[in-house]
Structure 1
């Protein structure tokens, strides 16, 4: 049984912990954080289903003073595990890497860290093989993760030459206030980092894109225009997407009118926190533009990267040494399946 620890119990960290706990061939040893944040307080109120370790020993009193049980320090957690999933704030993971190296413990970092923190820039479907046996892997951002799922699926079927993307980006996660209250759309400089990151993972694809920040919190929407080696039509693309366990095809006609509809549907399904691991493609948005094809996808930013993190564990620890076997195990334990 592979032993896993999580550093940072925030938006991504708590979902990573839940994801690991669902993997029948992994054991979640514990999670580490600094202070009694709301997720940490909720963990305590739920009866501490996961052991909590203090990430900064000299600040342990912050947890002790409010009666939250502490099982040890981050350094002690690192010594107990085979691999760490680091979901700390950008820059903190690079500092934590010194602890991981000290004890020869592998680690997976999230999209906010700089690429040089890791040996491999990783995506479960697009370049699983590059992560096999690697000591330090870095995941792509939520937008890039979901985008690559769709582009990779098309690329494996007919080959992708280039893509141009527009990202309508939520400005903050639910519950966040650091971006302030706003009534505006903000345009970012092109090309956006998601297009550049896609080309890092899939260097044979020419990608560019524009990003627009929007004052919403539940999900991003991306509209790719894809140039393929062989012209694709709607029905062919629908078959590809419906066969993909991490892509959910939805219809406007069925009431999936936008990002809020998908978030509500995840809650109606009984998913914790309204999490959804799949990206969604709206069937009615798939259209041809000359020889190109375009469509719109929804990125549930809080949970979309969890499957790829599980893939990263499997690759780094050589639990499965082929892409198909690795992602299949992750999908099985997370309950993800094709809906074709």
Structure 2
């Protein structure tokens, strides 16, 4: 049984903790945060299902005043685990790495950290083997994670030479106020980091992309134009996607009109927080353009990286040294691909 700790109990950290708790071959030892945030207060109100550790020495009185029990410090949590999932703010993970290294523990960092923090820039499907038995792994961002899933899916079937992407990016997570109230679209300088990151993970694919920030909070939309080594039609493309347990094919006729439809559907399914681990491909968006194939995917930014984090634990700790076995275990425990059997 692999023992896991989570540093940072925010948007991603909460979901990482839940994801680990669902893995029957892992034990969640505890989570760490710096103050009694709303997420931590909710944890208390739910009866403290996870042990909480104080990540910032000197903040003990803040937790005590809020009546929130603390099981120790972050450093004490690190000593109790085999591997840490670090979901702290960008830059904090690099500092925490010193603690992980001090006790010779493995750790997985999220997309906000610099690539230099880790031994391997990791994706469960695209380069699982490179993460096996490594001490420090770094995950791709939410957009890059979902994008690689789709591109890797086609690449393994027919080979992909290049992709050109347009990302319509949500401006902030639900409940965030620091971005302000906006009524505008903002274009970033090309190429987007997601395209560059894809090439880091999949160096044989030539990728470029444009990113546009939009004043919404539920999910990103990515338009992909892929040049495949073997020309494929719409039916073939959809058949490939429909076999993938982390890709859901949806259509406008079913009522999936956009990102909000998918979020609402996840809530109607009873998913905690309305989370979706899978990306969605709109059947109606798949178009043949000369030798290229074009499609549109939805990225549920709050939860999409959770499966790949579970894959990373499996690879780094050598729980499964075979990619197929590793991702299959993650999919099974997270309930991914259930819709394929309906």
Instruction: List per-residue Cα deviations over 1:137-176 (Å, max 9, x = no partner).
Output: 0000000000000000000000000000000000000000
Aligned partner of residue 312 in structure 2, secondary structure: helix
Q: Contact conserved, 1:2 with 1:82, CA < 8 A, in 2?
A: yes
In the alignment, the residues of structure 2 paired with residue 112 and residue 67 of structure 1 have an alpha-carbon distance, to the nearest angstrom, of 32
Query: Counterparts in 2 of 1:199-238, with a 5 A limit?
Result: 199-238=199-238
- Number of the residue aligned with 2:54: 54
- Number of the residue aligned with 1:73: 73
Instruction: List per-residue Cα deviations over 1:36-81 (Å, max 9, x = no partner).
Output: 1110000000000000000012112111111000000000000000
Aligned partner of residue 125 in structure 2, secondary structure: helix
- Number of the residue aligned with 1:274: 274
In the alignment, the residues of structure 2 paired with residue 217 and residue 95 of structure 1 have an alpha-carbon distance, to the nearest angstrom, of 29
In the alignment, the residues of structure 2 paired with residue 234 and residue 117 of structure 1 have an alpha-carbon distance, to the nearest angstrom, of 40
In the alignment, the residues of structure 2 paired with residue 24 and residue 122 of structure 1 have an alpha-carbon distance, to the nearest angstrom, of 23
1:105 aligns with 2:108: no
Query: Counterparts in 2 of 1:36-185, with a 5 A limit?
Result: 36-185=36-185
Q: Contact conserved, 1:34 with 1:60, CA < 8 A, in 2?
A: no
In the alignment, the residues of structure 2 paired with residue 96 and residue 128 of structure 1 have an alpha-carbon distance, to the nearest angstrom, of 24
In the alignment, the residues of structure 2 paired with residue 219 and residue 157 of structure 1 have an alpha-carbon distance, to the nearest angstrom, of 27
- Number of the residue aligned with 1:262: 262
In the alignment, the residues of structure 2 paired with residue 218 and residue 112 of structure 1 have an alpha-carbon distance, to the nearest angstrom, of 19
- Size of the alignment, in residue pairs? 340
Aligned partner of residue 277 in structure 1, secondary structure: coil
Aligned partner of residue 79 in structure 1, secondary structure: helix
In the alignment, the residues of structure 2 paired with residue 333 and residue 147 of structure 1 have an alpha-carbon distance, to the nearest angstrom, of 23
Query: Counterparts in 2 of 1:19-38, with a 5 A limit?
Result: 19-38=19-38
Q: Contact conserved, 1:8 with 1:86, CA < 8 A, in 2?
A: yes
1:3 aligns with 2:10: no
Offset at 1:337?
1.5
Q: Contact conserved, 1:166 with 1:211, CA < 8 A, in 2?
A: yes
1:16 aligns with 2:23: no
Instruction: List per-residue Cα deviations over 1:87-125 (Å, max 9, x = no partner).
Output: 000000000000000000100000000000000000000
Offset at 1:316?
0.2
Instruction: List per-residue Cα deviations over 1:225-252 (Å, max 9, x = no partner).
Output: 0000010101101111010000000010
In the alignment, the residues of structure 2 paired with residue 82 and residue 7 of structure 1 have an alpha-carbon distance, to the nearest angstrom, of 14
Instruction: List per-residue Cα deviations over 1:292-329 (Å, max 9, x = no partner).
Output: 00000000000000000000000000000011000000
Aligned partner of residue 190 in structure 1, secondary structure: coil
Aligned partner of residue 113 in structure 2, secondary structure: coil
In the alignment, the residues of structure 2 paired with residue 271 and residue 22 of structure 1 have an alpha-carbon distance, to the nearest angstrom, of 13
In the alignment, the residues of structure 2 paired with residue 315 and residue 145 of structure 1 have an alpha-carbon distance, to the nearest angstrom, of 17
Tell me the TM-score normalised to structure 2 length: 0.99
Gaps of 5+ in 1: none
Offset at 1:202?
0.1
Q: Contact conserved, 1:132 with 1:315, CA < 8 A, in 2?
A: yes
Gaps of 5+ in 2: none
In the alignment, the residues of structure 2 paired with residue 232 and residue 285 of structure 1 have an alpha-carbon distance, to the nearest angstrom, of 15
In the alignment, the residues of structure 2 paired with residue 334 and residue 182 of structure 1 have an alpha-carbon distance, to the nearest angstrom, of 36
Query: Counterparts in 2 of 1:316-331, with a 5 A limit?
Result: 316-331=316-331
In the alignment, the residues of structure 1 paired with residue 64 and residue 110 of structure 2 have an alpha-carbon distance, to the nearest angstrom, of 29
In the alignment, the residues of structure 2 paired with residue 59 and residue 67 of structure 1 have an alpha-carbon distance, to the nearest angstrom, of 13
Aligned partner of residue 72 in structure 1, secondary structure: coil
Offset at 1:126?
0.1
- Number of the residue aligned with 2:242: 242
Offset at 1:10?
0.1
Q: Contact conserved, 1:146 with 1:304, CA < 8 A, in 2?
A: yes
In the alignment, the residues of structure 2 paired with residue 109 and residue 64 of structure 1 have an alpha-carbon distance, to the nearest angstrom, of 29
In the alignment, the residues of structure 2 paired with residue 153 and residue 274 of structure 1 have an alpha-carbon distance, to the nearest angstrom, of 25
